[in-house]
């Protein structure tokens, strides 16, 4: 009787032990799985911090070994330039190159179908022929195929569906990271190319403008020489023709100067210094001496013209442009044309001073004012000279010197063109 009791008790214990054993092993499995998932997340965090493709794949190579214990890890991505599939080995022996990966039995199929692959007992494919256990997971983003990640082991039946799931979760982290890295790299390359192009164009236009000056000089001087020698004996229309040629050459010369000025503005070697404004005004005015006299323009230049921080030649250019505009918009029936040049501190921030060139000409409508500083704008009433770049060059100069500019005008009453630059502090 006692024996029977013992055996039934043993049976229960046995069953209970079995159960406990099973539960323990299931818990252990769940635990292992959850650790692996955490590890995948950690890898995910690590690679999402990176924007460099090489660093991303290196991180995966290092940290995934724990997850899937592979003998071989490689990643298949498109080559940036050729757009061909390339396989990069991240761990394990090197592989023999293949011309067209889409032709391979295993990887090719994964690339073409975007379906994952799990192998346990080897493959007839030549790629990774020595590795019976393989997991290949396609990498996709937004429906686009980026490539695939390949895990392989020399032991058979190494991987099961759980391993494949882990690899899949890893691929979900990897794909966007790779995509971002690729996009960023492409952007950087485009930026570099653009920069080189701009530099090329700048150098090109600078050289052409520079070289044009010689033939221009020949044309202009020859015109002058012919007139100096033969104006007395030439018929009037011949003289006229020659003067037309000289005018055109003069226009071309202005355009060339504007192009060169634009080129100089890009040049980072040009330095910002203290500018003697009085001197620049005098020089700018001197350029227009003949026409100022011809049109009987009264010029009033203020005594107080404080020095500013800028670039002497460019400040001179601004004054020349403003004075040129003032002369142009004088109006045919203006009997006492007048241009005033003076400084003021109206509405200007701390440490800045404003310079004004005011005329009593025809004025500019609000509508036209808006387009004034844009490139290639010419107001209909005025005969154009040069490329129409004048005021847009002024705008660029002020951009380069970190100053401000503007115009105030009332049609019929005249205009005031102004610009503002930092005062040059003599104490500094």
DSSP string, 317-329: HHHHHHHHHHHHT
According to the binding rule CB under 8 A, does residue 221 interact with another protein?
yes
Q: How far apart are CA 323 and CA 130, in angstroms?
A: 84
Q: In this chain, which stretch among 80-88, 217-225, 334-342, 369-377 interacts with another protein, using CB under 8 A?
A: 217-225
According to the binding rule CB under 8 A, does residue 245 interact with another protein?
no
CA gyration radius, the chain: 40
According to the binding rule CB under 8 A, does residue 229 interact with another protein?
yes
CB 137 within 8 A of CB 171: yes
Of 217 and 241, nearer to another protein (C-beta) is 217
Residue 409 Cβ, how far from another protein at the closest point, in Å? 32
Q: For residue 346, which of 393, 275, 408 has the smallest C-alpha distance?
A: 408
Q: Give the x-and-dash track for 134-173 against another protein (CB under 8 A).
A: ----------------------------------------
- Crossing angle for the helix pair 236-266 and 161-230, to the nearest 10 degrees: 150
According to the binding rule CB under 8 A, does residue 234 interact with another protein?
no
Of 269 and 333, nearer to another protein (C-beta) is 269
Of 224 and 425, nearer to another protein (C-beta) is 224
According to the binding rule CB under 8 A, does residue 222 interact with another protein?
yes
According to the binding rule CB under 8 A, does residue 210 interact with another protein?
yes
Q: In this chain, which stretch among 11-19, 104-112, 221-229, 402-410 interacts with another protein, using CB under 8 A?
A: 221-229
Residue 282 forms beta bridges with which residues? none
Alpha helices in 267-299 (DSSP H): 277-287, 289-294
| Residue 284 Cα distances to 28, 280, 366, angstroms | 88, 6, 27
| Residue 319 Cα distances to 45, 100, 240, 280, 378, angstroms | 59, 67, 32, 8, 19
Out of 62, 65, 154, 264, the only residue in the binding site for another protein (CB under 8 A) is 264
According to the binding rule CB under 8 A, does residue 265 interact with another protein?
no
According to the binding rule CB under 8 A, does residue 216 interact with another protein?
yes
How many other C-beta atoms can be found within 10 angstroms of the C-beta atom of residue 243? 12
CA atoms within 13 A on the CB side of 54: 1
Look-up: residue for tokens 């009033």? 300
Strands 273-275, 308-310: pairing kind: antiparallel
- DSSP, collapsed to helix, strand or coil, labels residue 129 as coil
Residue 267 Cβ, how far from another protein at the closest point, in Å? 9
Residue 324 Cβ, how far from another protein at the closest point, in Å? 18
Out of 125, 220, 245, 302, the only residue in the binding site for another protein (CB under 8 A) is 220
Residue 136 forms beta bridges with which residues? 117, 150
Q: In this chain, which stretch among 29-37, 103-111, 147-155, 224-232 interacts with another protein, using CB under 8 A?
A: 224-232
Q: In this chain, which stretch among 55-63, 150-158, 164-172, 219-227 interacts with another protein, using CB under 8 A?
A: 219-227
Q: For residue 281, which of 304, 251, 297, 256 has the smallest C-alpha distance?
A: 304
Of 109 and 283, nearer to another protein (C-beta) is 283
Q: In this chain, which stretch among 8-16, 57-65, 205-213, 380-388 interacts with another protein, using CB under 8 A?
A: 205-213
End-to-end Cα separation, the chain, in angstroms? 114
Residue list 283-342, contact with another protein (CB under 8 A): 313
Of 141 and 222, nearer to another protein (C-beta) is 222
According to the binding rule CB under 8 A, does residue 351 interact with another protein?
no
Q: In this chain, which stretch among 25-33, 207-215, 314-322, 387-395 interacts with another protein, using CB under 8 A?
A: 207-215
- DSSP, collapsed to helix, strand or coil, labels residue 367 as helix
Q: For residue 188, which of 46, 51, 58 has the smallest C-alpha distance?
A: 51
CB 364 within 8 A of CB 372: yes
According to the binding rule CB under 8 A, does residue 217 interact with another protein?
yes
Out of 260, 299, 368, 424, the only residue in the binding site for another protein (CB under 8 A) is 260
Of 81 and 269, nearer to another protein (C-beta) is 269
According to the binding rule CB under 8 A, does residue 218 interact with another protein?
yes
According to the binding rule CB under 8 A, does residue 124 interact with another protein?
no
DSSP string, 137-202: EEEEETTEEEEEEEEEESSTT---HHHHHHHHHHHHHHHHHHHHHHHHHHHHHHHHHHHHHHHHHH
Out of 55, 213, 278, 287, the only residue in the binding site for another protein (CB under 8 A) is 213
Residue 253 Cβ, how far from another protein at the closest point, in Å? 5
Write out the residues near another protein by the rule CB under 8 A: 210-211, 213-218, 220-222, 224-225, 228-229, 249, 253, 260, 264, 313
């Amino acid at each position: 009787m006692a024996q029977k009791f013992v055996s039934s008790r043993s049976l229960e214990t046995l069953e209970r032990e079995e159960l406990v054993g099973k539960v323990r092993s299931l818990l252990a499995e769940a635990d292992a799985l959850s650790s692996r998932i955490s590890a995948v997340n950690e890898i995910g965090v690590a690679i999402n911090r990176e924007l460099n493709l090489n660093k991303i794949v290196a991180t995966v190579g290092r940290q995934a070994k724990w997850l899937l214990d592979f003998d071989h890890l490689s990643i298949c991505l498109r080559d940036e330039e050729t757009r061909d599939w390339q396989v990069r080995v991240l761990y394990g022996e090197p592989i023999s190159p293949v011309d067209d990966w889409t032709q391979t039995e295993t990887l090719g199929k994964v690339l073409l179908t975007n379906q994952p692959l799990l192998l346990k007992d080897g493959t007839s494919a030549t790629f990774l022929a020595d590795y019976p256990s393989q997991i290949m997971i396609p990498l996709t983003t937004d429906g686009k195929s980026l490539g695939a990640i390949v895990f392989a082991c020399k032991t058979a039946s190494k991987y099961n569906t759980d391993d494949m799931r882990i690899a899949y979760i890893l691929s979900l982290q990897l794909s966007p990271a790779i995509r971002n890295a690729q996009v960023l790299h492409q952007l950087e390359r485009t930026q570099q190319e653009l920069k080189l192009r701009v530099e090329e164009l700048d150098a090109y236009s600078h050289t052409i403008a520079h070289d044009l000056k010689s033939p221009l000089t020949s044309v202009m001087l020859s015109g002058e020489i012919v007139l100096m020698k033969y104006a007395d004996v030439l018929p009037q229309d011949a003289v006229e023709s020659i003067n037309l040629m000289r005018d055109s050459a003069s226009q071309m010369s202005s355009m060339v100067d504007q192009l060169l000025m634009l080129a100089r503005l890009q040049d980072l070697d040009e330095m910002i210094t203290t500018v003697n404004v009085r001197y620049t005004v005098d020089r700018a005015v001197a350029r227009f001496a003949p026409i100022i006299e011809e049109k009987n323009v009264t010029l009033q230049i203020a005594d107080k013209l404080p020095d500013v921080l800028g670039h002497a030649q460019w400040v001179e250019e601004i004054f020349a442009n403003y004075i040129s505009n003032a002369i142009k918009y004088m109006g045919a029936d203006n009997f006492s044309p007048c241009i005033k040049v003076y400084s003021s501190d109206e509405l200007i921030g701390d440490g800045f001073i404003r310079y004004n060139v005011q005329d009593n000409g025809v004025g500019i409508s609000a509508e036209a004012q808006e387009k004034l500083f844009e490139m290639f704008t010419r107001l209909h009433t005025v005969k154009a000279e040069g490329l129409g770049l004048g005021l847009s060059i002024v705008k660029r100069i002020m951009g380069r010197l970190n100053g401000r500019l503007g115009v105030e005008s009332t049609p019929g009453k005249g205009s005031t063109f102004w610009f503002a630059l930092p005062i040059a502090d003599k104490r500094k």
